[in-house]
Amino acid sequence: MLDTGFTGFLAINKQDLDSLDWFYIGKETLRTAQGETLFKIYLGKLILNEQEFEIPVYVGDEITEFLLGSEWLKILPLVVNYQANILTLG
């Protein structure tokens, strides 16, 4: 889900991290809809549109789905066709 209120690249649930071989780089407190939350940060590799990105990934217990944050909007174009219900990033 694209969450423009989240200012990072990607946030995932802790259980989704278990199958990934990502490097732990630290912790950071972020403001979410539920209030201030401490997240662990991992260096993750992600492929979007056949392009590989190495990004900081925020990991927390309260994340219920993958969140793509507004940091992507600084490097990839966002196109919305409201009538067709299509949102394209990249």
| Domain segments of the chain as ranges | 10-89
Token pair of 39 as six digits: 């997240």
SS3 5: coil
pLDDT for the residue 54: 96
Report CA 13 to chain centroid distance, whole Å.
10
Name the nearest CA neighbour of 68 among 55, 81, 80.
55
pLDDT for the residue 79: 92
**What pLDDT tens digit does each residue of the chain (90 aa) get?**
888 888 889 999 999 988 888 999 999 988 776 678 889 999 999 888 889 999 999 999 888 899 888 899 999 998 999 999 998 888
Instruction: Say how far apart CA 81 and CA 23 lie, in whole Å.
Output: 37
Residue 55 CA: distances (Å) to CA of 39, 46, 58: 15, 8, 10
